Structure 1
Amino acid sequence: MDQGEVMGASETTPRRLPTAVIVLAFVLLLGFLAMIAWGLRRSMSGPISVGDRVPDIQMTTFDGQTIHSRDLAGKVIVVNFWASWCKPCEQEARELEEAYQYFKDSGKVVFLGLAYVDTEPNSRAYLEKFGITYPNGPDLRTTVSQMFRIRGVPETYIIGSDGRLAAVKIGPFQSTQEIIQTIQPLIQ
């Protein structure tokens, strides 16, 4: 073709996508990436914070009873993570049982214990040694401890009657009175 000739209809020129399609694809891609980033940020964030709504906790006790926290709506729930191999856990074991006995008949407070990375025989021996009678079970596959992102044991999470995390205790409680004073203001 000479410089002066016009291209015929049989010859094709590259077609460009309309600008609107390109912009729309870019916006959708950015939105998708933002959703992924938000999800990762949320999943990698720290533990559930005081004031946050606590997702349903499901556990099966050593006696085979299945407990869902959603079935305990309107009650204060004390969730204690412990292990038979944990010496600081032993420091608060009797105090937690005493606090449980103190609130048991009120019907307003529920205690739940979760054995963290422990064997069932060792866990049962621990419960017997300290005379613990409130519901306890293994944290199978560390499902609940991952939800709270615990850093060690003992850790105790107190959920208010509104389903929101009201208090966190990292390490052992020092006395029964400390436990009672933490729970008492939450009872309606």
Structure 2
Amino acid sequence: MVEYYKISDLAKEIGKHASTVDSWFRKLEERKLHYVNRADEERIYDDLDLDIARFVKEKREDNWSMDAIFKELEGEFDLRPFPTHGGEVNMEEIREELRRELQEEMREQRVQDLVLRRKIEAELEEESLRHWDGLPETNRFRKGRFFMKQEDLEKREEFVKRYVDRRFEEKFREMIKDRETVQKS
């Protein structure tokens, strides 16, 4: 998801004063090297602008001149060209794009949660059947015709259902924790 910044937020991210960072981007625009998007006539900065600001800061700390930095920028980054339609970015378009991205992420999360739920239920059902098989025959079977024993399927289904219901939340939390651990690494 694209993140947008105000000049104060961008400056805070790189540890420089807002007026300093603003002057860098004004100079880039004056030289027609890089365009900063706008919404309601206010500049809004994105991740590309953040990377550019970090680069400029690093080079300034190494005592590079602004001219040298600007020449180097052209080779390092895919700088944003100036728009031909007047340069205004419609805030509603940005909001709509962000809304669509959020909806897509939420939809994907619901699918992942559904898949995870089904996986947990399947594992717990298998686990419960192993426990069921470990129970004494007197609990699992009933007498059938002609002294034959038949597995009590209703009792087995009830056992599996209760087992899954009792263990689901614990198993779900465990799987979520494992998934978060994998995502962090």
- Please, what TM-score do these two structures have when normalized by structure 2? 0.25
Larger radius of gyration: 2
**More helix by proportion, 1 or 2?**
2
Higher strand share: 1
